[in-house]
Structure 1
Amino acid sequence: MSKKKHYKHILLSIIDIIVTICLVAVLYLLVNQFVENTKIQKEYIKELNIYKTYNKQEEHSKYFEEKTQNMNIDYIDEPKKRITTKQDKSIKLDTNKSLPKIVIIIDDVTTLRQVNKIKNIPYPVTISFLPPTLRHKSSANISRQVMNYMIHLPLEAKVKKYEEEETLHIKNTLDQIDERIKKLKKIYPKAKYINNHTGSQFTKNDEAMDKLFRILKKYEYSFIDSRTTAQTVAQKYATKYDVKMFSRNVFLDNQVDKKYVEQQIHKAIKMAYKKGFAIAIGHPHDITLKVLTQSKSLFNGLNVVLIDDLR
C-alpha cells in the first residue's frame, strides 16, 4: 500500500471515530432529555390525580392557602402613612411617566398543568412556585420552563393544619433561615422575589422578621408581603435592611366564585388608577385562571407587568 493510500485510510478512520463520538454524544443528550421529560410527565400525572381528589372547590381552597380575616381586607398604602424607602420614591417617579401598572401573581404553583394554564392568559402573569415537597417534588424542575417567576416561601401560620414541609418558624435560628434561603437560591436560580405563603404568625414577629430580612439582603432578594395579617412588620425590616419590598393590595379569590373574582379584579384596577400601581394575588383555581384569561379588555389603559418590571 502506498503512503498516500495509507494516510487516506488513517484519515477516514479518524473521521469515522469522530462521527461515532458525535453520534454517541447526541444520543446521550437525547436519552437524558427523554428521561427528564418522563420524570416531569409522571409528576404531572401524579399531581393531576391529586387535583382530582380535591376537585370540590371548598376543599381545594383549603388545600392552597391559609384563611385569616385579614385576607379579606384590601390593602391601600396611603402615601402619608407609608414608611418610605428609596424604592418607594422611585415608584412614584415612574408612575408619573407611564400608564398605571398592575401586577398579577398566582401563588401555590406546583404543576405543569397549572403553568400551562397560566401561560394561556393573554397578558403577563407572575408565577410564584411553592418549594418542592414529597407531595409536589417537581416544582423546581418545572420552573425551568418559565422565564420570570417568584418563590412562594412557607412561613409559620397561626393554624398549622395545612402546613408545608420545611415551613420557617419564629423559633428558627439565623443559620437555619440562611440554609433554607440558600437552598432555594440554588434550585430557583432565576428568582429575584420571594413572597410569603401563609405566615400570619411569622410576619408579625419582630425577631423572626429581623432574621429573615437579614438573609434576604444577603442573597439579594426582594420581598412581596402577602399580608396574611394586618400586624405584619415586614415594612419595618425592609427599611432597616434596605430590602426592596411591595405589599399585596388585593386577593382575587378568597371566595372561589366567578363574580367575586371579577369584583376583585375591578378593585385592583381602581387601586392602580388611584396610586399608580397595584398588586393582586390569586391562586391556580380553575375559575380564577378562567376569569383572568377572559379579562384582557378590562386592563385597557393599564400596563400589566411582571413583578420584575415594577420599579
Structure 2
Amino acid sequence: MSKKKLVQIQRYLIIAILFLICVILFLGILIQYQDSQNALKFAQNSSKNITIEPKQENISNENHLSIFKEIPYKDENDNFQENNQSILEEQIKDLNLSSIIDENLSLVVEQNLSKEENLTKDMNLSKTKQARLAIIIDDMANISQVKALQALKLKLIPSFFPPDKNHIDTPKLALKFDFYMVHLPLAAMNYTKPEFDTLNPSDSEKRIFKKIQQVKKDFKDLKFINNHTGSLFTSDEKAMKKLYKAFEKEELIFVDSKTIASSKAPKVAKALGQIYIQRDVFLDNRDDVAYIKKQLMEAVRLAKQKGFAIAIGHPRKNTFKALEQSKDLLKSVELVYLSEIYAK
C-alpha cells in the first residue's frame, strides 16, 4: 500500500472520529434540551393548578398534585442513550475515546437521576412496592368524633385542635390513638369564625414560639402539625419563617394543608433545610357521600401513581360513611401514618 493511501486512510479515520464525537455531543445537547422543555411544561401546568381554602372558608376546591411527582428511573431518553452508547463504543473501542463518550452520556443520566433524588428526599418508600396513602382527619375536638373515627377500624390519622375553652380535652383524646397530629389554627383570608388563639402573620417570633412550645408540651410525643385554614398566614413568607423556626426548635414537622396556591411553606422549608410535606387531595369540600367517594378514588389513584399520597377529610357523618363504603377500595393501598414515611 502506498504512502499516499495510508495518509488518506488516516485522514478518513480522523474525520470519522471527529464526526462521532460531534454526534455524541449533539445527542447530549438534544437530551438536555428535551429535559428542559419537559421541566418547562411541567412548571407551566403546575402554575395553572388552583389550590384553595377548604370548605371552612367557603371556597370550592379542586384536586392537586404534591411536590413529590413520579419520575421514572429510566425513561425513553435513557434507553436511547444506552443504545447509542453501546453502538459507538463497539465502533471506536480501539481508538481510546470511550472515556469521552462516557463523560458526556453519564452527565445526562446524572441530571435525570438528581431530579428524582431531590423530589423523593426524606421519603421512605423503598421498603414496600405497595402504594401508600395517609388519610388525615382534621378538626378533631370531642369524644363523639373520636368514637366515630375508631368505629371505622381503619388506619387513619386524627388531627386535634390545640386545647382551648371550646375543646379542653383534646390532649387526652389524642392519647386514644397510636398516632395523631395537631391541627394548628392559622389566620385565613376569608374565614369569619376563626378558632380561639389563631396565629396571625403579625404575631412576633416570641409569641409564635411560645404557642408551638405549649402545643408540644400539651401533646405527648407529638411530631407532626398541619394548618387549620391559614390562607393568609401561609402566603406570608416572613410569618412562615417564624413558624418554621419554632417547629425546628421543638423538633416538629409541618404538613401544609395547602389551603392556598401561593403558600410560602415550600420556599421557606427549602431555605431552612427542612422537609416540606403537603396534602394531595381534600376529600370533603362537598358534604356529599358520592363526591367524597370519588375523591377517595382520586387519592388512591395518586398514591398508585406516585407511590405515596396524602388526603385530608373532616369528622363528618358523610365523610365517615364514604370511608366505610370505600373499604374495599382502600385495601388496594397501604394506609400509613406519616411517621412511617418521613423520618425526623
Which TM-score applies when normalising by structure 1?
Answer: 0.74
Q: How far does residue 127 in structure 1 lie from its aligned partner after superposition?
A: 0.3
Per the alignment, residue 299 of structure 2 pairs with 268
Aligned to 1:74: 64
Residue 96 of structure 1 and its aligned partner are, at CA, apart by 7.5
What SS class does the counterpart of residue 232 from structure 2 fall into? Answer: coil
Matching of residue 194 in structure 1 with residue 225 in structure 2: yes
CA distance in 2, matches of 1:75, 1:155: 23
3-state DSSP class of the match of 2:121?
A: helix
Q: Report the AA paired with residue 139 of structure 1.
A: T
1:89 aligns with 2:121: yes
CA contact (8 A) 1:193 1:222 kept: yes
Is this contact kept in 1: 2:125–2:341, CA < 8 A?
Answer: no
Partner of 1:57: none
Counterpart CA distance in 2 for 1:117 and 1:86 is 39
SS of the equivalent of 2:245 reads helix
User: What is the count of residue pairs matched by the alignment?
Assistant: 247
Q: Distance in 2 between matches of 1:87 and 1:178?
A: 29
How is 1:235-250 mapped onto 2 (pairs within 5 angstroms)? 235-250=266-281
Give the alignment of 1:1-311 within 5 angstroms: 65-69=56-60, 71-77=61-67, 78=69, 88-91=120-123, 94-95=125-126, 97-311=128-342
**Displacement, 1:256?**
0.3
Compared with structure 1, are the counterparts of its residues 211 and 83 closer, same or farther at alpha carbon in structure 2 (3 Å cutoff)?
A: farther
Q: Is the Cα contact below 8 Å between 2:279 and 2:310 reproduced in 1?
A: yes
Structure-2 separation of matches of 1:155 and 1:297 = 36
- 1:303/1:293 CA distance change after superposition, 3 Å: same
Report the Cα distance in structure 1 between the residues aligned to 2:236 and 2:70, rounded to whole angstroms.
24
* Percent of aligned pairs sharing the same letter: 33
8 Å contact 2:122–2:275 — kept in the other structure? Answer: no
Contact residue 148 and residue 190 of structure 1 kept, 8 A? no
Residue identity matched to 1:131: P
User: Which residue pairs with 2:37 in the alignment?
Assistant: none
Offset, 1:156: 0.5
Query: Given the superposition, is the C-alpha separation of residues 232 and 85 from structure 1 closer, same or farther in structure 2, using an over 3 Å criterion?
Result: farther
Mark the structure with the bigger radius of gyration.
2
3-state secondary structure, aligned to 2:139? strand
Stretch deviating more after TM superposition (128-137 or 266-275) = 128-137
Q: Is the 8 A contact 1:85 1:242 kept in 2?
A: no
Question: Deviation of residue 191 (structure 1)?
Answer: 1.5
Give the conservation status (yes or no) of the 8 Å contact 2:213–2:250: yes
2:56 partner letter: E
1:115–1:197 CA distance, 2 compared to 1 (3 A)? same
Contact 1:128–1:150 (CA<8 Å) still a contact in 2? yes
Change in CA separation of 1:87 and 1:126 when aligned onto 2, cut-off 3 Å: farther
Counterparts of 1:76 and 1:173 in 2: how far apart (Å)? 30
Code of the residue aligned with 2:59 in structure 1: it is T
Instruction: State the secondary structure of the residue aligned to 2:216.
Output: helix
Distance in 2, matches of 1:171 and 1:66, equals 20
Secondary structure of 2:233's aligned partner: coil
- State the one-letter code of the partner of 2:327: K
**Greater shift after overlay, 235-244 or 163-172?**
235-244
Work out whether residues 186 and 230 of structure 2, in 8 Å CA contact, stay in contact via their aligned partners in 1.
yes
User: CA, structure 1 residues 308+252, in 2 after alignment: closer, same or farther (shift >3 Å)?
Assistant: same
The corresponding residue for 2:78 is: none
Which residues of structure 2 form unaligned runs of 5+?
1-52, 72-113
Distance across 2 between alignment mates of 1:186 and 1:84: 37
Alpha-carbon RMSD across the aligned residues, in angstroms, is 2.4
Structure 1 residues without counterparts, runs of 5 or longer: 1-61
Shift of 1:95: 4.7
Deviates more, 1:286-295 or 1:273-282: 286-295
Q: CA deviation at 1:306?
A: 1.4
